[in-house]
Structure 1
Amino acid sequence: MTQPDPSSLAQSLLLAPAWARVGLTAPVQRIREQAAAELAQTIIGALEGSQGRYDARQMALPL
């Protein structure tokens, strides 16, 4: 297994669904767990080289 590139992983996390990024701070444990699972899928997809379920039609909202 090769060492993952931090910049590509960071970019993958930024392309992850916004609900998952925000969901990590939710007060409900179930939502935090679902958000963590979604982000984990994003990281695995980046390591495998797949684009995942990113939808180009999703509107990017500034944070």
Structure 2
Amino acid sequence: MDRARLSSILLNAPAWVRLGLAVPDARLRERAADVLAATIVDKLDEPAVIKDRNQLPLPL
């Protein structure tokens, strides 16, 4: 795992989870942290997608 992949996972986590980590309600913070941890674990289990720079994107 590298920093770029972890950063991408964190930035693409659900918005309520990222905001939920900073709320004053302890229950919501714990719930948000649990969902964020589950998101990270799920995404790390997926194979990393490496895009070929030489492949041109074509519209469908």
* TM-score (ref. length: structure 2): 0.71
Percent identical across equivalent pairs?
A: 47
State the match for 2:21 in structure 1: 24
Which contiguous aligned blocks of 4+ residues in structure 1 show a shift greater than 6 angstroms?
none
Where does structure 1 lack aligned partners over 5 or more consecutive residues?
51-63
Per-residue deviation, residues 11-61 of structure 1 (Å, max 9, x unmatched): 0111110000010011000000010011101110121017xxxxxxxxxxx
Query: How many pairs are equivalent?
Result: 47
* TM-score (ref. length: structure 1): 0.68
Where does structure 2 lack aligned partners over 5 or more consecutive residues?
48-60
Amino acid at match of 2:23: A
Larger radius of gyration: 2
Contact 1:9 1:46 (C-alpha < 8 Å) held by counterparts = no
